[in-house]
Structure 1
Amino acid sequence: MINSMDLKLTAVSTDIKRIGADALVVGVVKGTDGPVLVASPFSAKVTETLQNSLAALNITGAADELVRLPATAETKAQLLAFAGLGSFEESTLSTEALRRAAGSAARQLAGASTVVFALPAATVDQAAAVAEGVALGAYQFNSHRSTPATKVPVSEAIIATAASADKALPAALKRAAILGRAVRATRDLVNVAPNVLYPATFAQEVKDSVKSQPLKVTIFDEKKLEKDGYGGLMGVGGGSERKPRMVKVEYSPTKAAKHLALVGKGITFDTGGISIKPAAGMHAMKCDMAGAATVFQAIVAIAELGLPIKVTGWLCLAENMPGGASTRPGDVLTMFGGKTVEVLNTDAEGRLVMADGLVAASAENPDALIDVATLTGAQMVALGLRTAGVMGDATLRDAVVAAADKVGEAAWAMPMPEELRPTIDSQVADLANIGERMGGMMTAAVFLNEFVGETDGVKIPWAHVDIAGPAFNEQAPFGYTHKNGTGSSVRTLVALAEDMATGK
């Protein structure tokens, strides 16, 4: 299922005249007086000629723009590609602008095997951003095609940078490669058809794909879940012939000072159950397991990076189908840990499986607990299709948002208003699974909060990340983001783990 090809990332000095490649990428910014060629690797004369030709060639420097021309005499590349960096001055280009431009170029240059990227990358951080963008943009999903696409992704990227001799650069390039591989693997899992990826096969893929990693995988099947009282998973998955699973993934390095627990929603297909969804667009509900895929691949990346932090992942896997054994509106489920929930809407299923996962994760008394889920349509109403909503303990919530900002992923801190808690009261059980319709993203977080445990009488720091919009892109590709599965929040979780490991 995880089939993404690997990518070779290397760095060279900015003298790239003798380097053969299928394409050479240079950057153009959208200046106040027109397009400007930046960090040109060419001689002053050729640079001037190219600069004077930009407007005539209708090159603007806008983000996502890529204009191809025959290569000049000063390079052995076969093709010269002008990549738009957006409306920035050369001195203030952000790492995210570089990441997106490199990713967009890599995405659009499918079919070119080896590409030199001569973008403004004077520092290690800038060179790493270019490398990471390429690693995110060079992607293709072919698992279900009888004949693979003829234009394969870029397989070798050469980063031209003034920091090529810096001793910190190899580690930065390695990190970029690891992050790119984790994001691409997350996309693979999200993009797989739901008749191929379901709870049992997802669980087996996790176990099979980490045999070479320092990870321990434990799979709880339906018999174990039933015996131990995982009522959320068993209730949601009851209507499907493909029974639920809980997968525990553990990374426990020696001398780990902190323990981070991650819980991921893994609804491998969501019909809504008896409260069935409209048929239009239901095919995209194969993405409802993106939270579990994100958590899994974040842990893989953390292990590959060798971070000195213990991380435990709980993947809550179920298929929400209508059937004779489905949960009905009005049923009461007993969750793992003993709390009861009246199910008023079977399409509010994600919070039920996540409740089981949060209780299980809390039992190990982690230092921080984060859940990731494509949880509510209300998230998209509130924040659109590209920005994740983050709720929970204010300190941890803000740390998650800061980590997202650092890696270029859009996230926004949201409150959990106290007036929403009474709306999930039930007349027959401890809680109801839905409450106030307005502010539904926050109501779902208020529900999840009820299942976060305590350590020595103090609530475990917890944050909830709703990725309903950013996890799956049904619109046109942009930057390093392809259509369908995006791999959103993998890099945020890794960055947060890095911060925790270093005591930030």
Structure 2
Amino acid sequence: MEIRLKSARRYVEEIPTRLRVVGVWGGELTEGGQRLATREQITQMMEELKFRGDFGETLLLPVSASGGNEPEFVMLFGLGAKKRGVSLETVRKAGAKLVAAITKLGFKEAVTETFLAEKFGKKEASYALAEGAILGAYEFKKYKSDPEVKRLRLWLARSSGPAVDRAEIVAEAVNYARDLVNEPPNVLTPAELAERARELGRETGLQVMVWDERQIQQEGMGAFYGVAQGSANPPRFIQITYKPRGKPSRVLAYVGKGLTFDTGGYSLKPSESMTTMKSDMAGAAAVMGAMRAIARIGPNAEVRAYIAAAENMVSGSAYRVSDVLKSLSGKTIEVMNTDAEGRLTLADALTYADREGAEAIVELSTLTGACVVALGQGIAGLFATDDRLGKEVQEAALRAGEQVWPLPLEEDYRELLKSTTADLKNVSGARHGGAIMAGLFLSEFTEKPLVHLDIAGPAYTTNPHSLGPAGGTGFGVRTLVEMVAPGIAEE
């Protein structure tokens, strides 16, 4: 769907469109509805039709036209009950549901009040509503032979222009990440992901550098290359840098897992588990999406992104169980499971980010099924080697509307990663604590403050969700942007 948002300082009734949308909260018309000349007529029809305004419930009413031959309509949009737990996420989800409801009825233009602005403030409500509308309008129809493209122009009455502008930047970056995740793996190879990064650099002015397989080997990234060596599609190491105009307030590194397809290697996945493995680069997609938004917002922090892009395939040259790989850090790793490949690629990326001078590192990866078992498909696990950085990321995620939950890096478990053959094993061999063990393994490869976000649950969904369709969700983009560019621009 192609959606255009138009911010307006005017009230709903002052913008000439055939469809006006007002909220119903706690069974009553919100502020926008109270100003309508037809409010008494609307209230009476609500009572007659027993419309309660449950969240997402809609009621389309014809009202007296103000002029001309075309009838006018008011859509009542339910915002639920006035109860504890109502938050800006309610407004964000309302934006997504509203877009679907309007386009289903065939309208190509509408005006909506900015829901619950009286409760949360105009800027905050404008941002959440606009972001939800753009995320909810997302579709991936690139490979459909005859896709139907719906178009909608949506006016946000009494809204904050700067807040809507920022929401558009961030939401479009999320959709950019979704596009990357939804690409089929025969298209989005490591080389193609690197080319998309170059295109991003040309579009935004970001600095982009890409290493091919020879450079990766020459630099000593043995853990990364060990995973990649079994594929006919060679690996790429992608570096993207944003620098502010003045002296940066801080230097952060964002590292994203970039497995463009994961078979599990010789520790082969079952076929049903492979169907979503094009999404194993969702961490890389989130990092690239965040860099896209950061370049446009222009914060004062310097941000460096690193992606070790590879495929984990089965062939005569693929790495095996019991192989020993030498990482960029110099530590050797005994491979106990070739399906624990992401942490091997990330090990070298983390070491490189550390050596390049990052003050702190935030890493995102679809790393373990154990984290999905622990937290479900809607929540990412947060593992921090530094409490202060962990709290900063958690608070950024809360403001951004993405759910993360802190889990411990239990030091006593570290002994389970020791190998009798090499310095470390890539898995412990124990059935318990898999997500924690993965986080502990990653922490071996940097001395800098590190937050590892295991996004295996929320990065990809096989069913439609409250902010979009099935497929890549773009999870993590909003949190990463919020970390370095917090808040909504002042009017």
TM-score (norm 2): 0.91
Equivalent pair of 1:16/1:41 in contact (CA under 8 Å) = no
Q: 1:300 aligns with which of 275, 292, 304?
A: 292
1:362 aligns with 2:361: no
Instruction: After superposing the two structures, state which structure 1 stretch, 174-183 or 208-217, moved more.
Output: 208-217
Q: Which residue of 2 aligns with 1:484?
A: 471
CA-to-aligned-CA distance 1:161-188 (integer Å, 9 cap, x gap): 2xx5xxxx33222111100110111111
Q: Which residue of 2 aligns with 1:106?
A: 99
Q: 2:414 aligns with which of 409, 421, 429?
A: 421
Are the structure 2 counterparts of residues 45 and 8 from structure 1 closer, same or farther at C-alpha, using a change threshold of 3 Å? closer
Whole-angstrom distance in 1 between the partners of 2:77 and 2:201: 37
Matching of residues 104-503 of structure 1 within 5 Å: 104-110=97-103, 112-118=107-113, 119-122=115-118, 123-150=122-149, 152=150, 154=152, 156-161=153-158, 164=159, 169-255=160-246, 256-392=248-384, 393-435=386-428, 436-453=430-447, 460-478=448-466, 480-499=467-486
Instruction: After superposing the two structures, state which structure 1 stretch, 376-385 or 468-477, moved more.
Output: 468-477
| Displacement of 1:15 | 4.1
| Displacement of 1:37 | 2.8
Equivalent pair of 1:25/1:81 in contact (CA under 8 Å) = yes
Equivalent pair of 1:61/1:85 in contact (CA under 8 Å) = yes
SS of residue in 1 equivalent to 2:224 = helix
Q: Which residue of 2 aligns with 1:19?
A: 16
Are the structure 2 counterparts of residues 305 and 43 from structure 1 closer, same or farther at C-alpha, using a change threshold of 3 Å? closer
Equivalent pair of 2:24/2:77 in contact (CA under 8 Å) = yes
Whole-angstrom distance in 1 between the partners of 2:236 and 2:71: 51
Whole-angstrom distance in 1 between the partners of 2:53 and 2:348: 49
Equivalent pair of 1:20/1:77 in contact (CA under 8 Å) = no
SS of residue in 1 equivalent to 2:231 = coil
Q: Which residue of 2 aligns with 1:97?
A: 90
Whole-angstrom distance in 2 between the partners of 1:477 and 1:79: 28
Partner amino acid for 2:96?
Answer: G
SS of residue in 2 equivalent to 1:346 = coil
Instruction: After superposing the two structures, state which structure 1 stretch, 490-499 or 73-82, moved more.
Output: 73-82
Whole-angstrom distance in 2 between the partners of 1:351 and 1:404: 23
Matching of residues 59-74 of structure 1 within 5 Å: 59-63=51-55, 65-73=56-64
| Displacement of 1:248 | 0.2
Whole-angstrom distance in 1 between the partners of 2:202 and 2:470: 30
Whole-angstrom distance in 2 between the partners of 1:227 and 1:198: 22
Whole-angstrom distance in 1 between the partners of 2:425 and 2:194: 29
CA-to-aligned-CA distance 1:248-303 (integer Å, 9 cap, x gap): 00001122121110000011111111111111142111111000000011011011
Equivalent pair of 2:208/2:238 in contact (CA under 8 Å) = yes
Partner amino acid for 1:26?
Answer: V
SS of residue in 1 equivalent to 2:132 = helix
| Displacement of 1:304 | 0.2
| Displacement of 1:26 | 2.3
Partner amino acid for 1:20?
Answer: T
Q: Share of identical aligned residues, percent?
A: 37
SS of residue in 1 equivalent to 2:276 = helix
CA-to-aligned-CA distance 1:367-406 (integer Å, 9 cap, x gap): 2210011111111111111011111121111111111111
Instruction: After superposing the two structures, state which structure 1 stretch, 463-472 or 210-219, moved more.
Output: 210-219
Are the structure 2 counterparts of residues 469 and 212 from structure 1 closer, same or farther at C-alpha, using a change threshold of 3 Å? same
Instruction: After superposing the two structures, state which structure 1 stretch, 221-230 or 204-213, moved more.
Output: 204-213
Equivalent pair of 1:139/1:153 in contact (CA under 8 Å) = no
CA RMSD, 1 decimal: 2.3
SS of residue in 2 equivalent to 1:88 = coil
| Displacement of 1:320 | 1.0
Partner amino acid for 2:417?
Answer: I
Partner amino acid for 1:446?
Answer: L
Equivalent pair of 1:391/1:397 in contact (CA under 8 Å) = yes
Q: Structure 2: which 5+ runs fail to align?
A: none
| Displacement of 1:195 | 0.8
Are the structure 2 counterparts of residues 329 and 52 from structure 1 closer, same or farther at C-alpha, using a change threshold of 3 Å? farther
Are the structure 2 counterparts of residues 38 and 360 from structure 1 closer, same or farther at C-alpha, using a change threshold of 3 Å? same
Give the number of equivalent residue pairs: 476
CA-to-aligned-CA distance 1:139-166 (integer Å, 9 cap, x gap): 111111111124x253x321112xx5xx
| Displacement of 1:57 | 4.3
Whole-angstrom distance in 2 between the partners of 1:440 and 1:481: 30
| Displacement of 1:60 | 4.1
| Displacement of 1:127 | 1.6
SS of residue in 2 equivalent to 1:81 = strand
Equivalent pair of 2:240/2:304 in contact (CA under 8 Å) = yes
| Displacement of 1:43 | 4.7
Partner amino acid for 2:156?
Answer: I
Whole-angstrom distance in 2 between the partners of 1:153 and 1:272: 41
Whole-angstrom distance in 1 between the partners of 2:102 and 2:422: 57
Are the structure 2 counterparts of residues 230 and 40 from structure 1 closer, same or farther at C-alpha, using a change threshold of 3 Å? same
Whole-angstrom distance in 2 between the partners of 1:353 and 1:225: 11
Whole-angstrom distance in 1 between the partners of 2:259 and 2:52: 43
